[in-house]
Structure 1
Amino acid sequence: MATTSYLDLNRCSRPLPPSLSSLSACPCRPSAVTLPRSRAKLGGLDFSIDGTRPVVGLGPTRGLCRPRRRLIAAVARADPDHLGDGNAKQVLGVHKGRELSLNEDAVAENQEKANQLKKRIVFGLGIGLSIGIVVLAGGWVFTTVVAAAVFVGAREYFELVRSRGITAGMTPPPRYVSRVCSVICALMPLLTLYRGQIDVSVTSAAFLVAMALHLQRGNPRFAQLSSTMFGLFYCGYLPCFWVKLRCGLAAPALNTGIGASWPILLGGQAQWTVGLVATLISFSSIIAADTYAFMGGKAFGRTPLTSVSPKKTWEGTIAGLCGCIATTVVLSKIFCWPKSLLSSIAFGILNFFGSVFGDLTESMIKRDAGVKDSGSLIPGHGGILDRVDSYIFTGALAYSFVKTFLPLYGV
């Protein structure tokens, strides 16, 4: 379609008379402008310009003069390159400003994600190195760190129980009961190291908590009792199995080549026990499962695993399982424990399922609480429960497997 220059026709407010012999019928119309012959349609107007004689054709029901905004819009559609109106330029500027704003928001969001990922990597490496040193030290050092993590995790758990999302459907336990339970949970790993078992202590603690709930003012509720007992089990009893695994299985790992060259000042060959090797392999396989599941989900994730955690996919879960088994088998060859390949594969599968269901359990609690993270203690990672949720059930499964199903502890 040919283009035409803009004619300021909007000043005329009266329609043309029926006889259109010329444009002089409208007294406010400007004189004709000499332009090359061209033809264009603007809305309902048909312009034909030939030299100095402009001719305007009208549709059957439309008048010549239009309101200013409609004429500007029609001219903009017909000839955007020659449009010199200030309002149109302002509109274009607004559109460009919105595009720039969207681009700036996208850049800022990507930069924030990059900073978050960098922070997660830095703090993750620092935590991993520190935990490795603590596991190698064992004894009171390992048990004290576990007790501190249990105390913080128990506080986070009871804060989740008291959040709006959960309290909308239940009555939370009193705050003093929550604090006492957090202290009891922190003492459980220490009692496990001192006594070697925790069953009597857990039973006594549960009885005391039930008494405190029944003697409180007002009417005690079953939701208070159930959430408190689950807190004792989830935050206190289950983590104690890591102490039993690391410090309780003191049988020497005789076939481990690293132990033969281990410095005497750091404990010598006696430092490398079945408990130490099993704990290192379990921790490493859990980290591998999380890493491979994340990478596999990002690259191939299409099918959601469960509604509890929408970001988890079947593809990522399968990648995590393969990575967990591969890491367990490789480390079993390095440490020469367990000796059987079938036992190594079974140990890797057990660690993987313990980590997955521990993660899903904590996700279920957070979903009901209506929060994204259990806390903000670790920058880029959230709270303690967000980092140790994969380890809570795994310690009990690993200890039971080594203690019960591996003949001679797998040596």
Structure 2
Amino acid sequence: MGGGPGASSGARPPTKRGGRDLGAAVGVGLSLGAVVLVSLFTYKPAFLVVIALAVVVGLWELSSRLAERKLIRLPLPPLAVGGAATVVLGYLRGADGVWLAMALTVLAALLWRMSGPPEDYLRDVTAAVFAAFYVPFLASFVALMLAADDGVQRVLTFLILTVVSDTGAYAVGYRFGRAKLAPRISPGKTREGLVGAVLFAMAAGAVCAEFLIDDGAWWQGLVLGLGVAVSATLGDLGESMIKRDLGIKDMGRLLPGHGGIMDRLDSLLPTAPVVWLVLLAFVGAG
């Protein structure tokens, strides 16, 4: 009755898709979601800490990959400290705090790099300025949203719409995708998937604007959803371009089944300023 070693145990290897362990991916995704939602709904400063930690880890991943693949030496200590400060000052002092922290972060990075050899100084500090704007600056718009009176609802709307946009793109693209959107950058993305992202995000935007945002209206949510679908897609394509240039599949290995923190922030980072700006235009700073 035996069918070889282990045949009677009924054990099956973890289901995989695209080389990833789906069981681990789901578990990690649920855990991350729980941390985000619990901190967001429990205590605003706790969620602020989550943002700051994500920024620091994201900068570390970006710095590691640039050093490994391009020999670019980012001045990580001032970027990490300044990046966390940018998020905190955005919450405490608004846009003025963000710009002040960014200016000091860039200045500190320039000075820190001066302690190393002069070779490739311009290359390294240029990459440092890019990293400062790509990660902490964009993330600071989440802190700006959080600071509003209905900040929890604004951040929740931002998260929901980004996830719904990504889900709509995947679901429609998987079922109906034929025409490639940007085959040289991300072969899996299709124009049909983009349409799905737009439709899903606009529908979710209408619901969120009507029921979550103070003084919001459903038609404003349609505009918001359109903006999120476009920015989330461009953010995903942007990080895909970076990873192709570096010759890597993932920015890190911290999250089993997902890659790194930056692989989860790719669509969130560029979407944050879009959501903040649209809400500012329609309902004010809060």
TM-score bracket, shorter-length normalisation = 0.7 to 0.9
Question: In structure 2, do the counterparts of structure 1 residues 321 and 182 end up closer, same or farther at CA, with 3 Å as the change threshold?
Answer: same
Check whether the contact 2:214–2:283 (CA below 8 A) recurs between aligned residues: no
> Does 147-156 or 334-343 show the bigger shift?
334-343
1:353 to 220, 230, 236: 230
Task: Name the residue aligned to 2:16.
Answer: 112
Check whether the contact 1:189–1:243 (CA below 8 A) recurs between aligned residues: yes
Q: 1:241-289, CA deviations, whole angstroms, 9 ceiling, x for partnerless residues?
A: 1011012x12xxxxxxxxxxxxxxxxxxxxxx2x222211111011111
Cα distance in 2 for partners of 1:192, 1:339 equals 23
Q: Displacement, 1:299? A: 0.9
Task: Name the residue aligned to 2:106.
Answer: 206
Task: Name the residue aligned to 2:132.
Answer: 232
Question: In structure 2, do the counterparts of structure 1 residues 163 and 302 end up closer, same or farther at CA, with 3 Å as the change threshold?
Answer: farther
Cα distance in 1 for partners of 2:219, 2:285 equals 14
Verify: 1:125 aligned to 2:25, yes or no.
Answer: no
Verify: 1:368 aligned to 2:266, yes or no.
Answer: no
More helix by share: 2
Check whether the contact 1:355–1:393 (CA below 8 A) recurs between aligned residues: yes
Is the partner of 2:21 in helix, strand or coil? helix
Q: Displacement, 1:179? A: 3.5
Q: Displacement, 1:138? A: 4.3
2:166 to 287, 290, 296: 290
RMSD: 2.3
Amino acid at match of 2:53: A
Q: Displacement, 1:339? A: 3.4
Question: In structure 2, do the counterparts of structure 1 residues 110 and 199 end up closer, same or farther at CA, with 3 Å as the change threshold?
Answer: closer
Q: Displacement, 1:346? A: 0.6
Cα distance in 2 for partners of 1:223, 1:336 equals 43
Cα distance in 1 for partners of 2:101, 2:194 equals 37
Gapped runs of 5+ residues in structure 1? Answer: 1-107, 251-272
Cα distance in 2 for partners of 1:239, 1:320 equals 22
Amino acid at match of 1:216: G
Instruction: Give the structure-2-normalised TM-score.
Output: 0.86
Question: In structure 2, do the counterparts of structure 1 residues 112 and 198 end up closer, same or farther at CA, with 3 Å as the change threshold?
Answer: closer
Cα distance in 2 for partners of 1:339, 1:111 equals 43
Q: Displacement, 1:298? A: 1.2
Amino acid at match of 2:27: V
Task: Name the residue aligned to 1:73.
Answer: none
Which of structures 1 and 2 has the larger relative contact order (alpha carbons within 8 angstroms, sep 6+)?
Answer: 2
Check whether the contact 2:15–2:22 (CA below 8 A) recurs between aligned residues: no
Cα distance in 2 for partners of 1:311, 1:125 equals 24
Amino acid at match of 2:166: D
Gapped runs of 5+ residues in structure 2? Answer: 1-11
Amino acid at match of 2:161: S
Cα distance in 2 for partners of 1:239, 1:219 equals 31
Question: In structure 2, do the counterparts of structure 1 residues 318 and 338 end up closer, same or farther at CA, with 3 Å as the change threshold?
Answer: farther
Is the partner of 1:311 in helix, strand or coil? strand
2:189 to 312, 325, 334: 312
Is the partner of 1:310 in helix, strand or coil? strand
> Does 216-225 or 147-156 show the bigger shift?
216-225
Q: Displacement, 1:304? A: 1.2
Aligned length: 271
Q: Percent identity?
A: 25
Q: Displacement, 1:137? A: 2.7
In the TM superposition, what are the counterparts of 1:102-251 in structure 2 within 5 Å? 111-113=15-17, 116-164=21-69, 167=70, 172-173=72-73, 177-196=75-94, 197-247=97-147, 249-250=148-149
Q: Displacement, 1:338? A: 4.9
Task: Name the residue aligned to 2:274.
Answer: 397
Larger radius of gyration: 1
Amino acid at match of 2:154: A
Cα distance in 2 for partners of 1:365, 1:138 equals 35
Q: Displacement, 1:111? A: 4.2
